[in-house]
């Protein structure tokens, strides 16, 4: 099985983005020209896969200053069975659009992590709105119900995002 780990390119006009290894993913300003964090999770994942005898390749398109066309050509040349991509909140829409362009060549994979993350945000936003009216019985019941649902989504976002899997050695939930 050929696995490809990618940190896809991220450009907005002349500015290049950084995401992997950066605590604050962002589009760089000219003064940050030399700033290039190491993609720790891609490196760790690549090493772990290699130790377990997987055929793996890692592309850090940002560090290699790849254009979008060079990145797509590199991905197609490797012809992986699975692509795992680094992404971040500021770049997720951009990254999904870029990876969607490769969709005809490869099966898309979006983790349940995103579903539960966005669900959590929406639920807790509703909880905040309802907290203003908690003195009403129906609102208090709905408030507590949404807090419980929110807790469930937080746990699932962590589980499917890998945090709980690695910290507590839980089963990975593959195939769910």
One domain for residues 71 and 91: yes
- 176 belongs to a structural domain: no
One domain for residues 36 and 83: yes
SS3 sequence, the chain?
CEEEEEECCCEECCEEEECCCCCCCEECCHHHCCCCCCCHHHHHHHHHHHHCCCEEEEEECCCCCCCHHHHHHHHHHHCCCEEEECCCHHHHHHHHHHHHCCCCCCCCCCCHHHHHHHHHHHHHHHHHHHHCCCCCHHHHHHHHHHHHHHHHHHHHHHHHHCHHHHHCCCCCCCCC
Please tell me the pTM assigned to this model: 0.61
pLDDT in tens, 26-41: 788 878 878 888 888 8
- 172 belongs to a structural domain: no
pLDDT in tens, 95-140: 888 887 876 655 544 555 566 667 777 877 888 887 777 778 887 8
One domain for residues 43 and 91: yes
Report the number of distinct structural domains present in the chain: 2
pLDDT at 116: 64
- 106 belongs to a structural domain: no
pLDDT at 114: 62
pLDDT in tens, 47-79: 888 888 889 999 999 889 899 999 999 998 998
One domain for residues 119 and 75: no
Domain that holds residue 23: 2-100
């Amino acid at each position: 099985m050929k696995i490809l780990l990618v940190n896809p390119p991220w450009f907005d006009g002349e500015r290049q983005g950084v995401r992997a290894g950066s605590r604050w993913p962002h589009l760089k300003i000219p003064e940050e020209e030399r700033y290039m964090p190491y993609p720790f999770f891609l490196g760790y994942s690549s090493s772990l896969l290699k130790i377990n005898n997987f055929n793996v390749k890692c592309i850090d398109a940002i560090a290699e200053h790849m254009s979008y066309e060079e990145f797509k050509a590199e991905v197609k040349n490797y012809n992986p069975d699975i692509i795992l991509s680094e992404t971040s909140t500021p770049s997720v829409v951009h990254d999904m659009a870029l990876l969607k362009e490769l969709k005809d060549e490869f099966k898309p994979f979006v983790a349940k992590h995103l579903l539960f993350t966005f669900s959590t945000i929406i639920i807790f936003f509703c909880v905040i709105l309802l907290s203003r009216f908690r003195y009403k019985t129906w609102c208090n019941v709905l408030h507590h119900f949404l807090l419980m649902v929110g807790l469930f989504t937080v746990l699932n976002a962590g589980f499917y995002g890998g945090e709980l899997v690695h910290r507590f050695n839980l089963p990975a939930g593959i195939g769910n």
